[in-house]
Homo-oligomer: A and B are copies of this chain.
Amino acid sequence: MFDLLLLAPLGSILALGFAAYLAIFILRQPQGNDRMCEIAQAVRIGARAYLKRQYMGVSLFFVVVFFILLLLAFNKYLPIFVPFAFLTGGFFSGLSGFVGMTIATQASNRTSAAAIKSLNSGLRVAFSSGAVMGLTVVGLGLLDLSIWYYFLNWYYEIHPIAAGMDKIAAITSTMLCFGMGASSQALFARVGGGIFTKAADVGADLVGKVEAGIPEDDPRNPAVIADNVGDNVGDVAGMGADLYESYVGSIVATSALGVAAGLGLPGVTVPMVMAAVGVIASIFGTFFVKSKEDANQSVLLAALRKGIFASSFIVAVVSYFLVKHTLGMQHLGVYWSVLSGLVAGVLIGLSTEYYTSSNFKPTRSVADASVTGPATVIIGGMAVGMMSTAIPVLVVGIAIMASFFLSGGAQNFNSGLYGVAISAVGMLSTLGITLATDAYGPVADNAGGNAEMSHLPPEVRKRTDALDALGNTTAATGKGFAIGSAALTALALIAAYKDQLLILGKDMQLTLLSPSVLVGLFVGGMLPFLFCSMTMRAVGRAAGKIVVEVRRQFKEINGLMEGKAKPDYARCVNIATASAQKEMIVPSLMAIIAPIALGLLVGVEAEAGLLAGATVTGFVLAIMMANSGGAWDNAKKYIEEGNMGGKGSFAHKAAVVGDTVGDPFKDTSGPSLNILIKLMSMVSIVFAAFVVRNSLFK
């Protein structure tokens, strides 16, 4: 019989192959005039320089942690392969971001060049660039998983396995630790990139727009290239690493729980193959994304949505046969769990759209509040963000209950947990295309900047604006997706942590009434706030440095404002890079040290409580920050379309304040929270043996 699992490496090759095909398609598009190429080149150099420095710093971290893990492995605290898997996870996660960013920086000027022809051409180029990213992430994810699965399978075939474990259990319990590398890389990328992008953006706006009174993306602004670079390092490279981690993490956690549920090999096959099915569905979905000329925002949104719906539909149908064939009729409930995850993802997306698109009441209410000044804009936007947490929480809650009980959790607790875990895989199975719509945003944004700086005709700029506005909504949707799947995966990871400790002979009593668990919940609940505080202050400090530099250049470079001299773009890029690299260290280390420290000082029960508490507040806070930020941004855009007095009015100035506050909310602090949660879970799992044997409270 054909081994279904082989579909995983095949899916990987297919994804990477199609990504390569799209990349060639993009590179063959016209690059536009010299000015356009020059600007794109500057962004490319800046982004490359940033990533180089980022990877150098992160490499140091990886080397140090690698040796720590090696030490732990030699002392039998860890399976010997974990340190190596830590490296591959980090490497592939970083590679995903690198590939996505490389192609994104090639696509921006080509998108504006294509937009000269038509809206649809622009859309095709920008979206293809997003698809390269999406498919690279899922392709590399499946590749990493396949390599390790087949390697461990071969290894445990010929080497003895610990007593009381079968081969599959040994494989999955090792693979469970893999997420830490990907999570660390992702956190650095998101935090560093997020600080870079918003420091440049806020810095450019504060001096350029507010003080000097020149428009956004004006080439006279020395920070404008840094701003464009930032979109690529934060929203592309950071997001790629982030979702790589979510994707791999959900599959690995599901596999581990499949073993606990007594499903054996088929329990591993289903999530892996479902991911492969998702690849094919995503590729298929990309063909649905096209637009007529002069489409408005909702038509464009519908175009993207059509692709996602088509992919979801395919996954929904094929999964049925997959589950039925692999697990058998008695486990058909697992299929309904997958479906709950898929549906939950779509509902979270729709809810995000409702709260952040200016077509609906919430964002309009923020725009309305702008007539009474910045304070009411801030209060209104915060209120919208807070309100917007209700639907995703309820949706995830229903998905958890449904997937648990539909998978037979009432009879067999572990089957239920498997159901919850696989619903996250269901949600993420179409990542190839959902990430494409998300990663498309920064390309469109950069294309707009490119068109502005190259002084392309207004109708081209109008087209890139339409593409860009859409990107705001898809970005918020993507963030809702990332955090929603993190919440679904949370239960799986805590369960995996408990199982890991059980193997070590420690049976945790995780009752809410235990003071250690409660203290863990409190500390965990506080950490996302502390993390956001650190990252927001970091943006403030870094932006302050950019402000000083831009002011200096305006003052010292003669003829700059008249357009006779060129600003020193590279200096701003360097300053933002240096700040981001410095500022990302403390918050990232906190994520790694906090759970270990609490475990050592108060015990592993407190550590489990910390994971749950961080998941709860991280989930809610992340949605609030992403949606407040999205609502502020789009309220500003809505006013710029001529409402409430339009550009330059009192209301517009108030809305700009909201947008500026929203920048670190939605692009630095908020989107890092899902990685924070998962990295802390991963760290707990990897260091479980070390902590439990050395904890003060046993």
Contact = CB atoms under 8 A, between A and B. Distances in A.
Interface of A: 202, 206, 210, 369, 372-376, 378-380, 382-387, 389-390, 393-394, 396-397, 400-401, 404, 409, 416-417, 420, 487, 490-491, 494-495, 498, 509-513, 515-519, 521-526, 529-530, 532-534, 536-537, 539-540, 544, 547, 602, 608-609, 612-613, 616-617, 619-620, 624, 656-657, 660-661, 664
Contact of A417 (B509, B513, B537): B513
Contact of A536 (B382, B519, B544, B664): B382
Nearest to A664: B379
In order of increasing CB-CB distance, the 3 nearest A-B pairs are A386-B533, A375-B660, A525-B616
B393 A522 contact: yes
A385 B532 CA distance: 11
Contacts of A404: 515
Nearest to A517: B512
A522 B613 contact: no
Contact of A373 (B210, B517, B525): B210
Given A515-B400, A657-B378, A547 B390 contact: no
B379 A378 contact: no
A530 B390 contact: yes
A383 B537 contact: yes
Given A529-B624, A616-B613, A523 B397 contact: yes
A620 B525 contact: yes
Given A379-B536, A386-B529, A540-B376, A513 B515 contact: no
Contacts of A389: 526, 529-530
Contact of A526 (B385, B393, B491, B660): B393
11 contacts: A375-B656, A379-B540, A379-B660, A383-B536, A387-B534, A394-B523, A397-B519, A397-B523, A491-B513, A511-B511, A526-B620
A609 B512 contact: yes
A334 to B, nearest CB: 15
Given A417-B513, A487-B522, 12 more contacts: A206-B376, A210-B373, A378-B378, A380-B537, A380-B540, A383-B540, A384-B533, A385-B533, A386-B530, A386-B532, A400-B519, A525-B616
Contact of A401 (B378, B417, B513, B519): B519
A517 B547 CA distance: 48
A657 B374 CA distance: 7
A156 to B, nearest CB: 28
Contact of A661 (B378, B521, B530, B619): B378
Contacts of A544: 372
A533 B631 CA distance: 14
B522 A387 contact: no
A387 B534 CA distance: 8
Nearest to A386: B533
Contacts of A522: 393, 396-397, 400, 487, 616, 619-620
